């Protein structure tokens, strides 16, 4: 809902976005919140597509299995 004050509108929208982000899962590879529409889980490891593209997820899963 838009009001007469654009700064107040922005602050309200920013607060809504921050509240939404707190509900989002955290990527186990990079530690950032996953705000995408989807994410992946392999076992108990949660990650988003960006990390799947940048890193070898298989290597990460193996390292976690052995406690590295």
Tens digit of pLDDT at every position of the chain (68 positions): 677 889 999 999 999 999 999 999 999 888 999 988 888 888 888 988 888 776 666 676 666 666 55
pLDDT at 55 (0 to 100) = 64
- The answer to whether residues 51 and 27 touch, using CB atoms and an 8 Å cutoff, is yes
Distances (CA, A) of 29 to 2, 9, 19, 24, 66: 38, 35, 23, 15, 16
Spatial separation of the C-alpha atoms in residues 55 and 1, rounded to whole Å: 41
Identify the residue whose tokens are 């940048």.
Answer: 54
Closest CA to 41 of 64, 8, 7, 16: 64
pLDDT at 24 (0 to 100) = 92
pLDDT at 56 (0 to 100) = 65
């Amino acid at each position: 809902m838009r009001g007469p004050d654009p700064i107040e509108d922005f602050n309200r929208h920013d607060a809504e976005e921050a509240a939404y982000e707190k509900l989002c899962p955290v990527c186990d590879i990079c530690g950032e919140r996953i705000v995408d529409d989807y994410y992946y889980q392999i076992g108990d490891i949660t990650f988003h597509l960006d990390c799947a593209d940048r890193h070898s997820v298989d290597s990460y899963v193996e390292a976690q299995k052995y406690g590295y």
